[in-house]
Amino acid sequence: MTQQIAILSGKGGAGKTSITASIIKMMESVVAVDADVNASNMPILLPHTQQSTTPYFGMDIAQVKHDSCTGCGACLNACQFDAISQNEAGRILIDSDCEGCAACAFACPENAISMVERKGGDWYVSTVDNGYLIHADLIPGEDNSGKLITKIRSEASALAKQQDIAYIVIDGPPGTSCQAISSVTGVNLVLAVVEESLSGLSDYRRLAELVQKFSIPHYVLINKAGFSVEVEKSIIQAAAEFDGKIIGRIPFDREIPTALQELQSLAEMDNYRGVIAELLEQMTSSLNH
Partner 1 sequence: MIISVVSGKGGAGKTTLAASIAQIFEAEFYDLDVDAPNAEYYLQPHFSSKVPITQPVPVFSAERCDGCGICTKECRFHALYKILNTVYLTEPLCHGCGLCKMVCPQQAISYQDSSVGDIRSGHSRRTNNTVHVGDLVIGSTRGTYLISEMVKKIDPEKLSVIDGPPGNSCAAVAAIKPADLVVLVVEPTPFGFHDMQQTEQIVQQMGKKYLIIANKAMGDAEVDKFFRDKEKTAALTITLEDRYHKANLQGEILSQQFCEIYAGLRQVVSQELINR
Q: Which residues are near partner 1 by CB under 8 A?
A: 10-14, 17, 36, 38-39, 41, 44-45, 59-60, 78, 80-81, 99-103, 106-107, 115, 138, 140-146, 173-178, 180-181, 195-200, 202-203, 206, 209-210, 213, 224, 227-228, 231, 252, 254, 257-258, 260-261, 263
Distance separating alpha carbons of residues 46 and 161, to the nearest angstrom: 22
Query: If we measure between CA atoms, which residue out of 79, 4, 36, 45 comes closest to residue 260?
Result: 45
For residue 241, count CB atoms less than 10 angstroms from its CB and return exposed for 0-12, middle for 13-18, buried for 19 or more: exposed
Q: How far is the CB of 105 from partner 1 (least distance, A)?
A: 9
Q: How far is the CB of 4 from partner 1 (least distance, A)?
A: 19
Yes or no: say if 46 and 32 are a contact pair by the CB < 8 Å rule. Answer: yes
Q: How far is the CB of 9 from partner 1 (least distance, A)?
A: 8
Question: How many whole angstroms from its chain centre is CA 213?
Answer: 18
Given phi > 0 = left and psi -120 to 50 = alpha, else beta, which region is 272? Answer: alpha
Q: How far is the CB of 195 from partner 1 (least distance, A)?
A: 7
Residue 160 or 170: which CB sits closer to partner 1? 170
Dihedral sign, Cα of residue 36, residue 39, residue 43, residue 45: negative
Residue 159 or 197: which CB sits closer to partner 1? 197
Dihedral sign, Cα of residue 100, residue 102, residue 105, residue 108: negative
Yes or no: say if 72 and 129 are a contact pair by the CB < 8 Å rule. Answer: no
Residue 2 or 202: which CB sits closer to partner 1? 202
Look up residue 205 and give its amino acid.
R
Q: How far is the CB of 176 from partner 1 (least distance, A)?
A: 5
Q: How far is the CB of 153 from partner 1 (least distance, A)?
A: 17
Residue 53 or 81: which CB sits closer to partner 1? 81
Residue 4 or 17: which CB sits closer to partner 1? 17
Residue 3 or 185: which CB sits closer to partner 1? 185
